[in-house]
């Protein structure tokens, strides 16, 4: 679910699961939260790998970092 919100904010999510058809809904939810003075807390880091397989080499990246 976080990837949908991150993508709605313009962050690249690569081939990670993301409901692209719900980006407008995510933006609407964020606008409503902002109007009510609320915050939607999203992760600032992610575990990334070249493949989605058991024991695939992976690393932790920080959102917005170069090469992330």
- pLDDT of 66 reads 55
The pTM assigned to this predicted structure is: 0.81
Query: What are the pLDDT digits (tens) for 17-66?
Result: 999 999 999 999 999 999 999 999 999 998 989 988 999 999 999 976 65
Query: What are the pLDDT digits (tens) for 3-13?
Result: 999 999 999 88
- DSSP per-residue string spanning 1-68: -HHHHHHHTT---TTS---GGGHHHHHHHHHHHHHTT------SEEEEESS-STT--EEEEETT-TT-
């Amino acid at each position: 679910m976080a990837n949908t919100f991150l993508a709605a904010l313009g962050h690249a999510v690569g081939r990670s699961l993301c409901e692209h058809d719900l980006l407008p809904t995510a933006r609407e939810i964020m606008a409503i939260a902002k109007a009510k003075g609320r915050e939607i807390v999203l992760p600032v880091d992610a575990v990334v790998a070249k493949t989605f397989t058991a024991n695939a080499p992976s690393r932790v990246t920080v959102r917005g970092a170069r090469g992330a």
